[in-house]
């Protein structure tokens, strides 16, 4: 609880004691009026002062003005207890609002409490502690066990396990070793790491994430904007309606002005739109906080609202639904060669290449490569690689290279649905190594959950028809487009956007680097694998930090339940207020009912809004 909240709570308690003393004990009228006046000053002076200062600044019609006019009017009419009660319970509602917002912010702050306090920098042979902002690119920093990595960089020395839960929501540690990239915000758990920084703090992953979360509330959804505009016109309208209610009926009916002034004051208290103005933004804030708990960063409530209307989920294949890394799926050996022998020749021939296919072959080989066994290496663009391996001429590549090396055409079986490396040894076709990009563990679960939610799934890929259709069939995706260039992806997304319903939204999910044009064109762009990817954080509207496609379905459920809560609060608040407003205009209810219609409704709406922070509730089907 903040100091301001404690101060307000103390005032409420003191005022409540005075209120009950004035109400329960029989006192002379002047003493009772004095106690209620003191009670009013204790609990309501700041509201009256805000109303006065706002009027001086040209902001007349707000809840402070409504409360001040209604309560002072009640005191003037001699309704001391009711006037004080309205202000007292209004402040109780304000305290609940402050506490709820504080709780929501604290929930996000605890998740985003990842800004490092210092960095251990090696300078002139000494280790000194400096502010992360002072560290330059290329500086060497030391991160001890238990410390937070202050800046993005590359590990020079040491191995350890990193706690990435604050960024990804996942509890499984990430093992790191020399040569690997690490990002700021992770906690070093076991070993001492020596890191060469690759970015300044202002450009680091953690700085971008903090900025993203801090500014998320700036981008309001359509519902939030509607409530803001609604309150702007609604409040002055009810003030003039209350004024008409106080003045016109006495002339028409001949009743005393005091009766209708009291009803007008009740009307004013009821009409205060605090329940909507408070609970709607709080609901969205809670939804954004709930999404961040599962490792999904949302740039604004407008994107959360749009996500609730998702009709199409269009996904890139490589790096989104697959791991983006090749692995050896099968080896076909011919002409008397052994499978292990074929893999060895291919791995050694590819030993100097940094291509992902070359890396996957070396990983499958799994043995240390002696560069002395390889010579005369030459890479042939669009064909493959040639080298002399252990005295044998080895060619590894595509069909065109095989035809050149063996002098034969059309004698190489092409296996569909996989990437293949064909091998020739000393001019003889030796066989084929099939490589596949492995599907992520939860890709199939993600697609089934999306389809269960009534969402149409589409996959876009630059891969060949066979490989693309094979992956789509495995996952159960509704439609797949293959052999696409970035411009083709934009064209297809635009066609799909024309086919969707008026209220439906198209969500594109990609890696945030190659798919930036499509991310920008979609209604909502979601970047997979935001860890360490500047383009992902910059281009996307949402970032799934832990690279799991299943988070898509979860964040859609969070967005839908957030919107359900928003609609519940709107209907509940407006419904109760409309009913009590009519009753108050007819003189059937007084200020006590007005207290419930204002403060009671606000408190209930706020408590309802806080359900968005409950992840078990928000992500349940």
Catalytically annotated residues: 316
- The residue among 271, 262, 261, 274 whose CA lies nearest residue 239 is 271
Give the end-to-end CA distance of the chain in Å, rounded to a whole number.
34
Q: How many helices (H) and strands (E) does the chain have?
A: 22, 22
User: How far apart (Å, rounded) are the C-alpha atoms in residues 514 and 527?
Assistant: 11
Which residues are CB-neighbours of 223 under 8 A, at least 6 positions away?
A: 280, 305, 563, 566, 570
Structure tokens belonging to residue 398: 């595509």
Within 10 A of 218 (CB to CB), how many other CB atoms are there?
Answer: 10
Helix, strand, coil shares, percent, the chain, to 5: 55, 20, 25
- What count of residues does the chain have? 621
Give the SS3 label for residue 99: helix
Beta bridge partners of 188: 162
Contact criterion met (CB below 8 Å) for 98 and 5:
yes
DSSP single-letter state for residue 137: T
126-130 and 181-182 strand pairing: unpaired
User: How far apart (Å, rounded) are the C-alpha atoms in residues 283 and 606?
Assistant: 8
User: How far apart (Å, rounded) are the C-alpha atoms in residues 242 and 266?
Assistant: 9
3-state secondary structure 56-83: HCCCCCCHHHHHHHHHHHHHHCCCHHHH
Contact criterion met (CB below 8 Å) for 589 and 267:
no
Beta bridge partners of 163: 187
Structure tokens belonging to residue 419: 């990437």
The CA-based angle 548-319-205, given to 5 degrees, is: 70
């Amino acid at each position: 609880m903040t100091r301001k909240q404690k101060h307000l709570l103390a005032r409420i308690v003191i005022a409540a004691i005075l209120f009950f003393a004035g109400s329960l004990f029989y006192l002379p009228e002047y003493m009772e009026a004095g106690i209620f006046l003191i009670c009013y000053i204790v609990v309501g002076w700041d509201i009256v002062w805000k109303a006065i200062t706002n009027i001086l600044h040209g902001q007349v019609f707000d809840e402070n003005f409504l409360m001040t006019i209604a309560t002072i009017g009640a005191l003037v009419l001699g309704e001391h207890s009711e006037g004080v009660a309205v202000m007292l319970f209004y402040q109780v509602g304000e305290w609940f609002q402050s506490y709820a917002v504080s709780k929501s912010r604290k929930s996000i702050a605890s998740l985003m409490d990842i800004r490092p306090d210092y960095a251990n920098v090696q300078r002139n042979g000494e280790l000194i502690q400096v502010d992360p902002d002072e560290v330059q690119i290329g500086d060497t920093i030391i991160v001890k066990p238990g410390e937070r990595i202050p800046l993005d960089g590359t590990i020079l020395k040491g191995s350890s396990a990193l706690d990435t839960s604050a960024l990804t929501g996942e509890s499984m540690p990430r093992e790191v070793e020399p040569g690997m990239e690490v990002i700021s915000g992770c906690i070093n758990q076991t070993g001492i790491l020596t890191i060469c920084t690759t970015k300044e703090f202002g450009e680091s992953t953690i700085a971008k994430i903090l900025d993203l979360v801090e500014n998320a509330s700036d981008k309001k959804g359509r519902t939030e904007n509607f409530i803001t505009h609604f309150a702007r016109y609604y409040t002055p309208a009810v003030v003039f309606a209350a004024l008409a209610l106080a003045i016109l009926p006495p002339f028409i009916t001949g009743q005393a002005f005091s009766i209708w002034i009291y009803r007008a004051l009740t009307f004013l208290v009821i009409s205060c739109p605090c329940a909507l103005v408070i609970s709607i933004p709080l609901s969205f804030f809670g939804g954004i906080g709930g999404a961040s708990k599962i490792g999904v960063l949302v740039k604004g409530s407008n994107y959360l609202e749009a996500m609730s209307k998702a009709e199409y989920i269009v996904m890139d294949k490589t790096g989104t639904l697959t791991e983006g890394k090749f692995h050896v799926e099968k080896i076909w050996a011919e002409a008397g060669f052994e499978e292990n022998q074929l893999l060895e020749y291919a791995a050694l021939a590819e030993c100097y290449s940094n291509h992902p296919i070359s890396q996957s072959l070396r990983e499958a080989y799994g043995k240390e490569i002696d560069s002395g066994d390889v010579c005369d290496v030459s890479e042939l663009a669009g064909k493959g690689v040639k080298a002399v391996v252990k005295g044998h001429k080895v060619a590894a590549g595509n069909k065109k290279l095989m035809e050149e090396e063996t002098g034969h055409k059309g004698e190489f079986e092409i296996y569909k649905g996989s990437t293949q490396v064909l091998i020739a040894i000393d001019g003889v076709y030796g066989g084929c190594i099939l490589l596949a990009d492995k599907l992520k563990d939860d890709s199939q679960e993600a697609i089934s959950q999306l389809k269960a939610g009534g969402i149409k799934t589409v996959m876009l890929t630059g891969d060949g028809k066979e490989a693309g259709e094979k992956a789509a069939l495995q996952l159960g995706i509704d439609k797949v487009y293959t052999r696409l260039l970035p411009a083709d992806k934009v064209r297809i997304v635009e066609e799909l956007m024309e086919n969707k319903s008026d209220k439906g939204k198209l969500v594109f999910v990609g890696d945030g680097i190659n798919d930036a044009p499509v991310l920008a064109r979609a209604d909502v762009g979601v970047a997979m694998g935001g860890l360490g990817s500047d383009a992902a954080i910059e281009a996307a509207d949402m970032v799934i930090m832990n690279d799991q496609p299943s988070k898509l379905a979860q964040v859609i459920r969070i967005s839908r339940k957030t919107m359900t809560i928003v609609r519940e609060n709107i209907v509940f608040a407006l419904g109760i207020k409309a009913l009590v407003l009519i009753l108050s205009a007819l003189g059937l209810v007084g200020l006590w009912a007005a207290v419930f219609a204002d403060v009671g409704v606000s408190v209930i709406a706020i408590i309802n809004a806080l359900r968005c922070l409950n992840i078990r509730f928000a992500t349940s089907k």
